[in-house]
């Protein structure tokens, strides 16, 4: 049965029963989510903390000296967004510790999405995996920033139902970095038998195709799942779904 939102729109009734519950049941998904985030950051971040372009997992284009510093900034701030975002979506923490929620929210936005999103705007158009990835990542960066700005504005106006909906979308986009790694493995496995046929023996062309498809799939699918999840859970007091 769908949970209702009160018509003041100032707080999400969807959260209320979940928030009042002890954290035990929510830990069943919060802990795995945090674990995935910690493992991802623990693997992805360290080579970039050395500030040595030689240790970059991606090719650093010599013609664009700004690429590497922007990539490092993006990964550091992206890591903050990923870890803080996991805490932001934990209903118990949100309801029982609103001050902590506000601080992790500030970390998510001002130490994560905003600087990470701006930095990646200088990286995405230069992606080594080709035009499809470049367009997909630039679009993702723009939406990542736009959803976070919308969520922040709603919070400032104390429109907390809309705030929560925008932040769920924002976090779905943040999580797309993790989904991306799964999609790329799937697509490489699918396309590997076609290297000699479709790609005329050019393995790099196959990798570019797999990378481009996974960039798009990672955020489009995550966003669709977020919309489905929001619509499934939320109806306002008149039984209608909120507009934003």
CA distance 6 to 17: 13
Is 214 one of the binding residues for ligand HEM (CB under 6 A)? no
Vertex 147: Cα angle to 141 and 152 (nearest 5):
125
CB of 57 or CB of 102, closer to ligand HEM: 57
Binding segment for ligand HEM (CB under 6 A), chosen from 71-79, 154-162, 195-203, 231-239, is 71-79
Contact map string, positions 126 to 145, toward ligand HEM, x by CB under 6 A? -xxx-------x--xx--x-
- The size of the interface with ligand HEM (CB under 6 A), counted in residues, is 24
Q: Which is nearer to ligand HEM, 5 or 175 (CB)?
A: 175
Rounded CA gap, 113 and 79, in Å? Answer: 9
Residue 44 makes contact with ligand HEM by CB under 6 A: yes
Measured from the CB atom, the residue of 11 and 138 that comes closer to ligand HEM is: 138
Nearest CA to 85 among 186, 170, 28, 198?
A: 170
- Give the pair of three-digit tokens for residue 52: 């040595």
CA distances for 171 relative to 4, 16, 41, 97, 206, angstroms:
22, 20, 16, 20, 30
Interacting residue ranges for ligand HEM, rule: CB under 6 A = 41, 44, 57-58, 74-75, 78-79, 81-82, 120, 123-124, 127-129, 137, 140-141, 144, 173-174, 176-177
């Amino acid at each position: 049965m769908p949970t209702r939102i009160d018509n003041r729109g100032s707080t999400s009734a969807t959260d209320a029963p979940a928030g009042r519950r002890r954290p035990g049941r929510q830990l069943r998904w919060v802990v795995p989510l945090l674990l995935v985030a910690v493992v991802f950051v623990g693997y992805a971040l360290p080579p970039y903390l050395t500030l040595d372009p030689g240790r970059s997992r991606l090719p650093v284009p010599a013609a664009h000296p700004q690429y590497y510093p922007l990539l490092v900034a993006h990964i550091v701030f992206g890591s903050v967004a990923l870890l803080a975002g996991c805490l932001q979506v934990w209903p118990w923490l949100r309801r029982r510790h609103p001050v902590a929620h506000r601080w992790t929210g500030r970390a998510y936005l001002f130490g994560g999405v905003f600087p990470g999103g701006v930095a990646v705007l200088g990286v995405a158009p230069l992606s080594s995996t080709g035009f499809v990835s470049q367009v997909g990542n630039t679009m993702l960066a723009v939406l990542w920033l736009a959803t976070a700005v919308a969520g922040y504005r709603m919070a400032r106006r104390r429109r907390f139902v809309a705030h929560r909906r925008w932040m769920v979308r924002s976090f779905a986009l943040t999580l797309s970095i993790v989904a991306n790694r799964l999609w790329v493995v799937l697509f490489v496995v699918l396309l590997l038998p076609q290297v000699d046929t479709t790609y005329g023996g050019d393995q790099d062309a196959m990798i570019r195709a797999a990378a481009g498809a996974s960039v798009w799939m990672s955020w489009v699918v995550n966003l669709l799942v977020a919309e489905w999840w929001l619509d499934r859970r939320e109806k306002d007091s008149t039984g209608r779904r909120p507009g934003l």
